[in-house]
Amino acid sequence: MIPVSEPLTNTPAWQQQLANAFHTARDLLAYLELEALWRPELEQAARDFPVKVTRHFADLMRKRDPNDPLLRQVLPHLSECEAKAGYETDPTGDRAAEVGDGILCKYHGRALVVTTPSCAIHCRYCFRRHYGYPDNGTGELRWRAVADRLRQLPDISEVILSGGDPLALNNSRLASLVNKITTVPHVERLRIHSRLPVVLPERLEDNLVSLLSNNRLACVLVLHVNHPAELSTSLFRALGPLRKAGITLLNQAVLLQGVNDSLETQIELNKKLFEFGILPYYLHILDKVSGAARFEIGEKNIKQLYQEMAACLPGYLLPRLVKERPGAAAKEPVG
C-alpha cells in the first residue's frame, strides 16, 4: 500500500484513493495472495501500458483465485507483446475522426471530446491503450478552444466526454468544461462515458451531482460494467443522488473471453444493472487493439450467446450487440 502523504490529507477521498492505487502486477498479486503467479515477464507486458488498479476494484476480486474475472481484465499478460494479425493500434479509427482541439466527429449530430489521458484503472483490452493523446491541457484555454470549435459545428446537438476518463478531472476543471459547453446554443445533451464510478464510487460526491444536474443540458452517464461482481453496494449507494437528480444511467460492456462470455453471467449482469437503476445499452464486440487478442471470442459463439440472452431477458434488459468499424456511419448491429 502506498502511504498517503500529508499534502493529500486535505484532498477529496476519491483522490486519496487514486493515490493508493496499485501500479505493479507484483503488488496487486501480493495483495490478492497470488504471489506465485508473478513473473518478470508481466512487467515487460506492462512497459507500454502500465498497471493501474484502484484498491476498491481489487477488493471486489476473489483472493487466491487466479481465474477471477475482474483480475483477468487488469492483469498484464506476455501475449500483449506479440503481434497478432488483424490487431492494430487504432482499431476504431479515432485518428481519422479528429477535427482539432481533442474533438472527434464520427457520427452525425455528436462530437466526442477526449478530455484527458488519465484513468483510475487500466483495462488490458482498452481500445485507446495506444492512442497518442495530444498535450492540450485541461484548463480554461483548452475548454474555450473546445467550445469555439463546437460553435463551428452547427449540426452537433450532443457532446460526449470521454478520455481516458472525464471523471478523472477534478470538479473545478470539469465544471469549467461543462460551463463552456453550455454556451454553445445548438448543444442540447451532455453524455459522459466513465468507468470511474465503478472502480471508485467515492467519485460520485454531492458536488459532482450538482455540477451535472444544475445546467440546461440533459445529462446522460454511460458506465462501463462488464461483470456483476463490479456492481458493489457502495456503487449502488453512490448512484442514488444521480438517480434522484434525473440523470439517465446507461451501461456499455465489452464481451470478453473468460470474463463475461457465459449466459449465466450475462443474465446476472443485466438484471443487476436494472436493480441499480442502470439500463443496459451496448454490448460491444472486442475492438481489435494490439495486445488484447486473448480476450477475443469467435463471432459464431457470440451470436449463439446473444440469441440465448434474447430468449431469457426482456427486451429492455437486452443490450444491443454491436461492433465498431472505422468510417461507418454508426455502430453496426451484430446477430
Burial of 208 (0-12, 13-18, 19+ CB in 10 A): buried
Nearest residue to 126 (alpha-carbon basis) of 161, 163, 97? 163
| Per-residue pLDDT tens over the stretch 287-335 | 999 999 999 999 999 999 999 999 999 999 999 999 999 999 999 999 7
* 70 DSSP β-pair partners: none
Q: Grid coordinates 470511474 are at which residue?
A: 196
DSSP 35-56: GGG--HHHHHHTSSS---B-HH
Contact, 47 vs 94, CB < 8 A?
no
Q: Is the pLDDT of residue 233 over 90?
A: yes
* 172 DSSP β-pair partners: none
Task: Indicate whether this model's pTM tops 0.85.
Answer: yes
DSSP 125-142: T-TTTT-------SSHHH
| Per-residue pLDDT tens over the stretch 160-171 | 999 999 999 999
Q: Is the pLDDT of residue 2 over 80?
A: no
Contact, 56 vs 234, CB < 8 A?
yes
SS3 248: strand
Per-residue b or e along 241-275, where b marks 16 or more CB atoms closer than 10 Å to that residue's CB: bbeeeebbbbbbbbbbbebbbebebbbbbbebbee
Q: Grid coordinates 479515432 are at which residue?
A: 94
- List of residues 6+ apart from 316 with CB closer than 8 A: 274, 279
| Per-residue pLDDT tens over the stretch 27-70 | 999 999 999 999 999 999 999 899 999 999 999 999 999 999 99
pLDDT at 10: 67
Q: Output the CA–CA distances (angstroms, integers) from residue 62 to 10, 31, 271, in the order listed.
A: 32, 11, 22
Instruction: Say how many residues make up the chain.
Output: 335
| Per-residue pLDDT tens over the stretch 190-230 | 999 999 999 999 999 999 999 999 999 999 999 999 999 99
Domains of the chain: 13-81 (no CATH), 94-333 (3.20.20.70)
CA angle 216-218-219, nearest 5°? 115
pLDDT (average), residues 91-111: 96
**What is the average pLDDT value for the chain, to the nearest integer?**
95
Burial of 26 (0-12, 13-18, 19+ CB in 10 A): middle
Q: Which amino acid is at 266?
A: Q
